[in-house]
Amino acid sequence: MVKIVENVLLKENIYKLVVEAKDLVRNALPGQFVMLMTHEESERIPLTIHAYNKESGNLTLIYQVVGAGTLELSKEKETLFSLVGPLGNPSELIVNVDDLKEKNILFIAGGIGVASIYPQAKYLHERGINVSIIYGAKNKQFIILEEELRSVCQELILTTDDGSMGHKGVVTDCIKERKDIDICVAIGPMVMMKNVSNLTKEMGIKQIVSLNPIMVDGSGMCGACRVEVGGKVKFACVEGPEFDGHLVNFEAAMKRLELYKTIEGKKYLKELEGETHHGECANCE
Ligand SMILES: Cc1cc2nc3c(=O)[nH]c(=O)nc-3n(C[C@H](O)[C@H](O)[C@H](O)COP(=O)(O)OP(=O)(O)OC[C@H]3O[C@@H](n4cnc5c(N)ncnc54)[C@H](O)[C@@H]3O)c2cc1C
Ligand code: FES
């Protein structure tokens, strides 16, 4: 059992969850994620490591309630049945931080993707790297962590679809003028990462994206998180979640997310992909 320190509503349907996870936190780095189960029979939920405190051993996750699993999680205030991690690879930029001294890094956060952007921006900003952030949300009600973001970058640009806060429009509107950027990191909905990647390709800017396909076991066994990158099959949970945005087949990734919503879709994927859908994991029945 994992002790919950707090599990509180931040805004709208977005929650902050802090848990005691000393061993996990010891090895955690920005870009990695965890898999948690609220109760013994619950589905596993992958969530990005948002913040961690190596002294207290506390781990912070930010999540949006979008379905049954996250709704169940939002109601639990005492303990989690299980918490596994850190999973996936740390961010490429964190690993190669010494190569970034003269570079300008632009982070693009879409919606709840802001939870994943923050630890990476913080890590780089604390090491003297020039960081800018463009953060887009549906409207003012969904903007979270504004002060935290301001404290970890040189420049923060907010955009909302309805103009209720910051620039009215989408994040790509604000990238076009940025000729000074060396590396762009986009995290958020697939369609946003696709549009940003298309734009930075035209502009000749290196692009990193963090993919969020459906994940079941988070350990490379079930095949649920299969994505196509540079014409090759990759499993986001063990080979990602970060990839070169200019090489990701976003159309295929978005189609898979849609197919996973129905039993017929899952059956179709099993026929199509054979071995990686062996019928033995919770999602393949
Ligand atoms: C590596 C990784 C990191 C993630 N980090 C975060 C995070 O920090 N905060 C956060 O709020 N969410 C994050 N997600 C997404 C989160 O895992 C899903 O929203 C959650 O599993 C949905 O569970 P549910 O049972 O509530 O919804 P479900 O009933 O399973 O699904 C509800 C809706 O959400 C969609 N959905 C389900 N899983 C995903 C997914 N993996 N990606 C995109 N859409 C999905 C479904 O297609 C459906 O439309 C992450 C996903 C991955 C793969
Ligand atoms: S979630 Fe990646 S292989 Fe199962």
Residue, of 89 and 219, whose pLDDT is higher: 89
Residue 228: give the domain boundaries: 215-233+251-285
Atom 4 in ligand 2: residue holding the nearest Cα: 222
pLDDT at 283 over 50: no
Q: What percent of the chain has pLDDT over 70?
A: 93
Task: Say what the pLDDT of residue 134 is.
Answer: 96
pLDDT of 78 higher than 80: yes
Residue 238 lies in a domain: no
**Closest by CA position to 78, among listed 136, 168, 2, 23:** 2
> Are residues 13 and 83 located together in one domain of the fold?
yes
Residues 200 and 145 in one domain: yes
Instruction: Tell me whether residue 196 is in a domain.
Output: yes
Is it the case that residue 284 has pLDDT exceeding 60?
no
Query: Number of structural domains, the chain?
Result: 3
**Is residue 239 a part of any domain in this protein?**
no
Indicate which atom in ligand 2 lies nearest the CA of residue 236.
2
Residue 198 corresponds to which amino acid?
N
Ligand 1 lining (C-beta closer than 6 Å): 33, 43, 45-48, 62-64, 66-70, 112, 115-116, 212-215, 241, 257, 261
- Asked whether residue 191 falls in the same domain as residue 283, the answer is no
Residue 276: per-residue pLDDT: 58
Same domain, 63 and 96: no
Residue ending a domain, choose from 41, 71, 87 = 87
**Residue 160 counted as domain residue:** yes
Residues 70 and 15 in one domain: yes
Say if residue 32 is in the same domain as residue 69: yes
Give domain status of residue 171, yes or no.
Answer: yes
| H-assigned helices in the chain | 22-26, 68-75, 92-95, 114-126, 146-150, 190-203, 236-239, 250-259, 263-273
Q: Determine the pLDDT at residue 285.
A: 43
What residues contact 261, with CB distance under 8 A and at least 6 apart?
none
* Residue 244 belongs to a domain: no
CATH number at residue 114: 3.40.50.80
Q: Residue 190: pLDDT above 60?
A: yes
pLDDT at position 280, please? 43
